[in-house]
Amino acid sequence: MSVLVVGSIALDTVKTPVEEHADLLGGSASYAAVGASFFSPVRMVGVVGEDFPKAHVEYFASRKIDLEGLRVEPGKTFRWSGEYMWDLNTRETRSVELNVFEHFTPELPGSYVETEIVLLANIAPKLQSHVLDQVRQPRFVIADTMDLWINIANDDLRALLPRVDMLILNDSEARQFTGQTSLIKAGAAIRAMGPRFVAIKKGEHGCLLFGENEFFSCGAYPLEDIHDPTGAGDTFAGGLAGYLAAEERGNIEFAQLRRAVVFGSVLASFNVEAFSLERLRALSPADIDERYKMFRQMSQFEVLP
């Protein structure tokens, strides 16, 4: 099965305490689509300007990402610039130039409307709902969100939630959205708004997965060197969605989601090891399998007498 990924495609400038790089491939759809492509075919919907490098389009194609839904509009590509502090968790946006993305309204090609796994990457919830208006009986719908939409489009986000199977957001966003300091209470509160499952990302501390009377805590893979956290959450979501698409048909249940969360975390751990998607360019299925096995081994423990 294929994964439909709808989101932003950008050119980023990223500064960390030790490095700065400009005109990097970025955007939620870019990271999510490439992450998903390690497990399943991907159909990507997004918009870029005439300045978008051909090399990036060729890279998407090399990952066997279907680009019928990629529009090239007159003007410049969406650009974002950000700076990370020493902890590489705190980030400050330095500039945003929406350009052609400002008026982006996702329209699905006819060949996309029956895609069974849908990943609504980080775009306005009204646009995410617009995508759902076009797809036909998807098997599983995942939505990602962020603090901006919680602030300026809260009603639209709440209207979206009953239409999705899973919401992904980070810990500070979960607390902001629900007003709960406890992530356990926040996860339950978000589930009560509509989605069957909720994944709360905790950065270097892993992820919490909530279902109906079911709970799973996934640790984060320990890394000595983190170069660029940009897109880690989008890569996580893409890896999760791609793994689900690779699973056999049938209802997606909590056990499958547990494994999908681990594979998403594995993909995200690779992503942060280099700027932009450079680490994913060199990644092989064998690398993923090896780290997944190490992840499982680290998660096991023996009860001492």
Q: Which CATH number fits domain 3-299: 3.40.50.10470, 2.30.30.30, 3.40.50.1000, 3.40.1190.20?
A: 3.40.1190.20
Answer yes or no: is pLDDT of 305 > 80.
no
Q: Which letter, b or e, does each residue of 154-191 get, where b requires 16 or more Cβ atoms within 10 Å of its Cβ?
A: eeebeebbebbbbbbbbbebbbbbbebeebeebbebbb
How does residue 296 score in pLDDT terms, banded at 50, 70 and 90?
A: confident
- The pLDDT assigned to 157 comes to 98
Q: Which range has the worst mean pLDDT, 84-93, 147-156, 163-172, 182-191? A: 84-93
Beta sheet of 65-73, edge-to-edge order: 65-73, 42-49, 3-6, 117-120, 140-144, 166-170, 197-201, 207-211, 214-218
Residue type, 13: T
Top pLDDT among 44 and 302 is at: 44
Average pLDDT over residues 74-88: 94
Q: Which residues contact 172 (CB under 8 A, 6 or more apart)?
A: 147
Answer yes or no: is pLDDT of 158 > 90.
yes
Average pLDDT over residues 145-166: 96
Q: Which residues contact 168 (CB under 8 A, 6 or more apart)?
A: 142, 143, 144, 145, 198, 199, 201, 233, 236, 237, 240
User: Which pair of tokens denotes residue 106?
Assistant: 């996702």
- As a dihedral over the C-alpha atoms of residue 283, residue 289, residue 295, residue 299, rounded to 10 degrees, the angle is 170
d(CA 65, CA 60): 6
Q: Mind listing the pLDDT tens digit for each residue in 10-36?
A: 999 999 998 999 999 999 999 999 999
Q: Which residues contact 279 (CB under 8 A, 6 or more apart)?
A: 270, 271, 272, 273
- The pLDDT assigned to 238 comes to 98
Q: Mind listing the pLDDT tens digit for each residue in 91-132?
A: 899 999 999 999 999 999 999 999 999 999 999 999 999 999
What predicted TM-score, i.e. pTM, was given to this entire model?
A: 0.95
Chain centroid to CA 275: how far?
Answer: 17
d(CA 166, CA 194): 9
Q: Mind listing the pLDDT tens digit for each residue in 252-293?
A: 999 999 999 999 999 999 999 999 999 999 999 999 999 999
How does residue 248 score in pLDDT terms, banded at 50, 70 and 90?
A: low
Answer yes or no: is pLDDT of 54 > 70.
yes
Beta sheet of 10-15, edge-to-edge order: 20-26, 10-15, 79-84, 91-97
Answer yes or no: is pLDDT of 42 > 80.
yes
Dihedral over Cα of 101, 43, 202, 291: its sign: negative
How does residue 250 score in pLDDT terms, banded at 50, 70 and 90?
A: confident
How does residue 300 score in pLDDT terms, banded at 50, 70 and 90?
A: low
Phi and psi based region of residue 57 (left: phi greater than 0; alpha: psi -120 to 50; beta: remaining): alpha
> How many helices and strands in the chain, by DSSP H and E?
11, 13
- The tokens 């130039």 sit on which residue? 97
d(CA 165, CA 194): 8
User: Which pair of tokens denotes residue 193?
Assistant: 């708004």
Residue 140's Cβ-count burial label (10 Å; 0-12, 13-18, 19+) is buried
Residue type, 139: R
Average pLDDT over residues 60-82: 97
Pairing of strands 65-73, 42-49: parallel
